[in-house]
Chain A
Amino acid sequence: MKLSIENLYKTFSGFVALDRISMEVGENEFVCLLGPSGCGKTTLLRIIAGLLDFDGGVMRLGGNDLVEIAARDRGFGLVFQSYSLFPNMTVKENVGYGLKVQKVDKKEISERVATLLELIKLPDLADRYPHQLSGGQQQRVAIARALAVEPTLLLLDEPLSALDARVRAEMRFEIREMQQRLGIPTIMVTHDQEEALTMADKIICMKDGRIEQIGTPRELYAEPATRFVADFVGVSNILPTAWIRKNLPQMMDSRPGGKEGDFEFAVRPEQLVVDDQKGGAEIKDMQYLGNLSRVTLDWYGEDVVVEMQGYPKFTEASSIHVTVADGCGRWVKV
Chain B
Amino acid sequence: MSSAVAQQWFKNSQLVGDKLLVTSAVFFPLIGLCIFFCYPLFLVAGKSLQLADGTYGIANYINVLKSPGIVKAVCNSMVLSVSTTAFCLFFGFAVAFALQRSGIGGKRYLKGALSLPLLAPSLVQALGLLFLLGRNGLVHKWTGWDIEIYGFWGLLIANILYGLPQAILIIEAALRQSDARYYEAAEILGASKWKQFFDITLPNAKFGILSAGFVVFTVTITDFGNAAVIGGNYKVLATEIYSQVVGQMNFGMGAVIGILLLLPTLIAVYIERVASQKQFGGSSESAIPVSTNFYAKRDVPLGVFVHTIASIAVLVVMTVIMASFIKLWPYRMTFTLANYNITLSGGYTPLWTSLLVSVEAAVLGVVFLFALAFSMKRIPPKLAKLVYLLAVLPVGVPGLVLGISYVLAFNVSDNMLGMLYGSSFLIALCNFYHYHSQGFLTMITGVRAVPPALEETVSCFGGGNVRILRDAVLPFMGPTIISVFFFIFMRSMVTLSAVIFLISSKVSVAAVSVMRLDEAGFTSQAAAFSTCIMITVILAMGLMNSLIYLYSISGAGKEASSDQQGIEKRGLARMVDRTYCWSST
A contacts B directly (C-beta below 8 A): yes
**Interface positions of A (Cβ within 8 A of B):** 49-51, 71-78, 80, 82, 84-89, 97-98, 101-102, 129-131, 134-136, 138, 145-146, 149, 161-164, 167
Task: List B residues 557-585 near A (Cβ within 8 Å).
Answer: 577, 583-585
Task: State how many residues of chain B have any CB contact under 8 Å with chain A.
Answer: 28
* Residue of B185, B188, B280, B585 touching A167 (CB-CB under 8 A): B585
Q: Which residues of B contact A (CB under 8 A)?
A: 179, 181-182, 184-192, 195, 199-200, 203-204, 206, 278-281, 284, 286, 577, 583-585
A136 contacts B585, CB within 8 Å?
A: yes
On whether A134 and B584 interact (CB within 8 A), knowing A72-B192, A149-B190, the answer reads: yes
**Quick one: given A86-B199, A87-B281, are A98 and B190 in contact (CB under 8 Å)?**
yes
**Do B187 and A131 touch (CB < 8 A)?**
no
Known: A72-B192, A88-B278, A131-B281. 10 other contacts (CB 8 A): A51-B188, A71-B188, A80-B181, A80-B185, A84-B185, A86-B182, A102-B190, A136-B585, A149-B189, A162-B577
Of chain B, the residue at the smallest CB distance from A131 is B280
Q: CB-CB < 8 A to B286: which residues of A?
A: 82
The CA-CA distance from A98 to B196 in the complex, in Å, is 12
Chain A residue at minimal CB-CB distance from B583: A164
How many angstroms between the C-alpha atoms of A135 and B189 in the bound complex?
Answer: 21
A50, A77, A102, A135: which contacts B584 (Cβ < 8 A)? A135
**Contact A72 B181, beta carbon cutoff 8 Å:** no
A113 to chain B, nearest CB (A): 14
Smallest beta-carbon distance A108→chain B, Å:
16
Across the interface, name the chain A residue whose C-beta is closest to B195.
A101
A68 to chain B, nearest CB (A): 16
Interface centre among B184, B187, B188, B192 (most CB of A within 10 A): B188
CA distance A130 to B179 in the complex (A): 16
> Cβ of A161: which chain B residues have Cβ within 8 Å of it?
577
* CB of A52, distance to nearest CB on chain B (Å): 10
Measured between alpha carbons, how far is A74 from B206 in the docked complex, in Å? 31
Whether B584 contacts A162 by the Cβ 8 Å rule is yes
Complex A-B: 28 CB contacts under 8 Å: A50-B188, A51-B187, A72-B187, A72-B190, A74-B188, A76-B188, A77-B188, A78-B188, A80-B181, A80-B184, A84-B181, A85-B185, A86-B186, A86-B200, A87-B204, A87-B281, A88-B203, A88-B278, A97-B191, A98-B190, A101-B195, A130-B281, A131-B280, A135-B584, A136-B585, A145-B185, A146-B188, A149-B189
Cβ of B71 to closest chain A Cβ, rounded Å: 40
CB contacts (< 8 Å) of A134 on chain B: these are 584-585
In contact, A87 and B280 (Cβ under 8 angstroms): yes
Alpha-carbon gap, A44 to B487, bound state (A): 46
Distance A138 CA – B281 CA, assembled complex (angstroms)? 14
Chain A residues positioned under 8 Å from B281 (CB to CB): 86-88, 130-131
For the complex of A and B, list the 9 residue pairs with the smallest distance between their C-beta atoms, beginning with the closest: A87-B281, A135-B584, A98-B189, A88-B203, A84-B181, A78-B188, A84-B185, A134-B585, A101-B190
Whole-angstrom CA separation of A145 from B199 in the bound complex = 15
Whether A135 and B280, one on each chain, are in contact in the complex, defined by CB atoms closer than 8 angstroms, is: no
Residue of B186, B190, B195, B284 contacting most chain A CB atoms (<10 Å): B190
With a cutoff of 8 Å between Cβ atoms, the chain B residues found around residue A129 in the complex are 280
Q: Using Cβ atoms and an 8 Å threshold, which residues of chain A touch B184?
A: 51, 78, 80, 84
- Bound state CA distance, A49 and B183, in angstroms? 13
CB distance from A73 to the nearest CB of B (A): 7
> Measured between alpha carbons, how far is A163 from B582 in the docked complex, in Å?
10
CB neighbours (8 Å) of A73 from chain B are 190
Chain B nearest CB from A172 CB (Å) reads 17
